[in-house]
Amino acid sequence: MRVVLAEDQFLLRDWLIRTLRDHGCEVVAAVDNSPALRKALREEQMDLAVLDIRLPPSYTDEGLQAALHARRERPGLPVLILSQYVDQLYAQELLAGGQGAVGYLLKDRVTNTAQFMDAARTVAAGGTVMDPEVIAKLLARSEARGTTADLTPREHEVLRLMAEGRSNTAIMSTLHISESAVAKHTTSIFGKLGIEASADDNRRVLAVLAYLKR
């Protein structure tokens, strides 16, 4: 897996480089500022971009803006955001394309190498991985608008786990329910949210997006 990495903190950047390489990844670029990130995203061939949101020179949202621009140029480019902050708008913008291959993890909640590498591989494979705290804030914001009123409490749980990038097997294990029950809840969620089957769309991502609609 070829990775572009953008992280301004030297120690964290060094750890990410060593971790990715130790797990068979090729770090094709490791940068610490926005202009270098944009150049790397434009010129390198990659399977995954791992980015901090706030980068020099202004430490606002340079990493996110670079990622959004890159995904407009290369739809579906896998992007995994590492941030110290939860910002619903950032997560919503990343999900807005409905194509998946996005992740948003909080730095202080990544507690081990396996967790980080699982997230990296899931996003690179086209999946969606969101930190539970990010999902909770997204859902709280959307529920306040009444967009999920028809979902049952169990369907809320299933959708939350889907948004965290969990497979049906993992959802089955977490909730102690059968595989057929997971499939039944998932089908019900898609139906209640009006998400039709399509070869062009990721229904699991669209289910999360449906929460966010005003």
Comparing 118-127, 187-196, 200-209, which segment has the lowest mean pLDDT?
Answer: 200-209
pLDDT of residue 146: 47
Provide the whole-model pTM.
Answer: 0.69
Query: Higher confidence at residue 35 or residue 159?
Result: 35
pLDDT of residue 200: 56
Report domain extents, the chain. 2-142, 145-213
51 — pLDDT class (breaks 50, 70, 90): very high
Given the candidates 1.10.10.10, 2.60.40.10, 3.40.1190.20, 3.30.70.1380, the CATH classification of the domain at 145-213 is: 1.10.10.10
pLDDT of residue 206: 72
Q: From CA 71, how far away is CA 95, in angstroms rounded?
A: 11
Pairing of strands 102-106, 79-83: parallel
Comparing 73-87, 140-154, 172-186, which segment has the lowest mean pLDDT?
Answer: 140-154
Specify the length of the chain in residues. 214
pLDDT at 86 > cutoff 90: no
pLDDT at 23 > cutoff 60: yes
Overall average pLDDT of the 103-131 stretch? 89
pLDDT of residue 97: 63
Q: Is 31 helix (H, G, I), strand (E, B) or coil?
A: strand
Superfamily of domain 2-142: Response regulator (3.40.50.2300)
